[in-house]
A and B are shown apart, each in its own frame.
Chain A
């Protein structure tokens, strides 16, 4: 990473503001305009996913064969698709699929990867050796190809797609947790805990883990951006979310066939993915800037 001037000059903080803790963190994060915009957009996407039935103007699966492939109009703000369904409603309900895919698959990767990485870095020895070679091997596969292959073996559907994506992200979190343990385990507070007779599990869980959360937070937000893209890709190829459930990826799959007749079909779901992923990346970059001590 590039050296920044801020490495030598203490960050400008309004007088009275603490230099550690949540409020300091929020204050620093809010100084990054783009990261703040990203956070707002992500919040908006999550809210519209949560309250989709109240926000969407129509039922996303209700077909209307009198009004197929209509351009945007007063009744259908973004037009209708090949079955006469309201595209705006489908984009709003599609957010549910994407948000769910992002949270569940990354959550799965963290739930499996963190304990493995913690134990591997803490105990070292044969366990560490084995886990590291395993992550080496898993990281040798192109992420998307591996996710596709696992999804193909597990079968179609959103749940299986999320499991496939979760597996692909797991080695990244194993590596991250292990690196954290290696840098923390010789610290004085760990030694103090050990001297006081704390068990290994307690040291890992109560002492090392909480001190390692900030890089996990950064990686999780960036991984969610990729997870949402992957879910859309799998659904685009027909391996993820199945019809009639709205998903941005499968909407684009249909749109491809009507590119000449009804190009707006391809515009909105793609734009929705793009904006969501971009916002998550902005949030991730913003978090990294605040949480990574090397960038201060």
Chain B
């Protein structure tokens, strides 16, 4: 087991290295003069020159990458061009908001997807099944920013049940926090719910065809018992894996939902810094999201190999 974990961990090193290269290249291969682009068109000559010196643009690209990587390893992601705050500090400040949103979105997704997936698989080829799979496809296809706008119109503008946007910290006003998070969490959770439901349905159908389920039936166990106690457990394995892999989708979705609902998280930070050409901040957010995904994928692989020893054995043999 340890061998597998070490092997898998070693595999992440070249990936992480290339991730940093891509993020570095993204900003440094801007057509034209990066200092000029970053300073903006209004900046004076001295300001641009100062920025160029500060960024070390007079040195070769490889040297700059090395220096940048060195600072990165020590946790120095640079400073915001807009307000000079350290990028890492801002990121860590915004992170809890996005984590809360993502956790609520996951809760929404599971609450919808698990019952719907079980029902669809149980009553397969019935009206319920067709309704659930059709709604799921719609949920995958609906653009989340449009869904967000429509929900704001319905619940905030028209019915006036919920505030249209904004954020309050949960420890200051728990009820107000939840009120403001319901709509963004629903929007973020919808596509995920659809995906999980489809996956759970097909995974359950596969498990239902196996020998041990037939044995359970043969023992005379009730259908509901077989489905929920025997089949669901094994059917959840691929679902849990995919949930981990959906982190990227969640982060991407958070960009949109946080922008529409004015939630001050990492996603909105990404959009704001892109629109204001705050490149060190853009670099920081993009790097952060990729590194987070690499580590979640690693964790998912390790958990998966614990749940299913066959995977680890195959890897170790090869």
Binding site for B on A (CB under 8 A): 1-3, 133-134, 136-138, 140-146, 148-154, 225, 229, 232-233, 236-239, 252, 255-256, 259-260, 263, 266-267, 269-270, 273-274, 277-278, 281-282, 285
Contacts and interface: CB of A to CB of B under 8 A. Distances in A.
Nearest to B209: A3
B169 to A, nearest CB: 25
A137 B19 contact: yes
Nearest to A236: B145
A93 to B, nearest CB: 19
Interface stretch (B80-88, B177-185, B211-219, B268-276): B268-276
Nearest to B294: A140
Contacts of A239: 274-275
Contacts of A273: 143, 146
Given A2-B205, A140-B294, A141-B293, A270 B282 contact: no
A141 B259 contact: no
A219 to B, nearest CB: 15
Given A144-B255, A263-B153, A149 B274 contact: yes
Given A142-B293, A152-B277, A153-B30, A233 B248 contact: no
Contacts of B205: 2-3
* Secondary structure type dominating chain B contacts: helix
Nearest to A261: B157
B27 interface: yes
Interface string B83-116: 0000000000000000000000000000000000
Interface stretch (B71-79, B134-142, B310-318): B134-142
B286 A140 contact: no
B143 A266 contact: no
User: Which of the listed residues B22, B143, B152, B201 has the most CB atoms from chain A within 10 Å of its own CB?
Assistant: B143
B274 A252 contact: no
A145 B252 contact: yes
B18 interface: yes
Size bracket, chain B contacts:
35 or more
Contact of B256 (A144, A153, A269, A270): A144
28 contacts: A2-B203, A3-B205, A3-B206, A3-B209, A134-B18, A137-B22, A140-B15, A142-B247, A142-B249, A142-B289, A142-B293, A144-B253, A145-B255, A146-B286, A148-B255, A148-B274, A152-B282, A153-B26, A153-B27, A225-B141, A233-B143, A236-B145, A237-B259, A237-B275, A266-B149, A266-B150, A273-B146, A281-B141
A259 B279 CA distance: 32
B69 interface: no
A281 B289 contact: no
B41 to A, nearest CB: 13
B243 interface: no
B267 to A, nearest CB: 8
Given A146-B286, A252-B146, A274-B142, A133 B14 contact: yes
B251 A145 contact: yes
Given A3-B205, A140-B19, A153-B27, A145 B285 contact: yes
Nearest to A238: B275
Given A232-B143, A255-B149, A274-B146, A133 B18 contact: yes
Given A140-B15, A148-B270, A153-B26, A2 B206 contact: yes
A237 B271 contact: yes
Given A140-B293, A252-B149, A256-B149, A270 B18 contact: no
B236 interface: no
B239 interface: no
A180 B5 CA distance: 29
A285 B201 CA distance: 16
B149 A259 contact: yes
A213 B131 CA distance: 32
B133 to A, nearest CB: 10
A147 to B, nearest CB: 9
Given A238-B275, A273-B146, A141 B141 contact: no
Given A141-B286, A259-B157, A149 B143 contact: no
Interface in B277-291: 277, 279, 282, 285-286, 289-291
Nearest to B252: A144
A233 B256 contact: yes
Contacts of A260: 157
Contacts of A153: 26-27, 30, 279
B202 interface: yes
B18 A141 contact: no
Contact of B248 (A141, A148, A152, A274): A141
Interface in B117-149: 137-138, 140-143, 145-146, 149
Given A145-B285, A255-B149, A266-B146, A277 B141 contact: yes
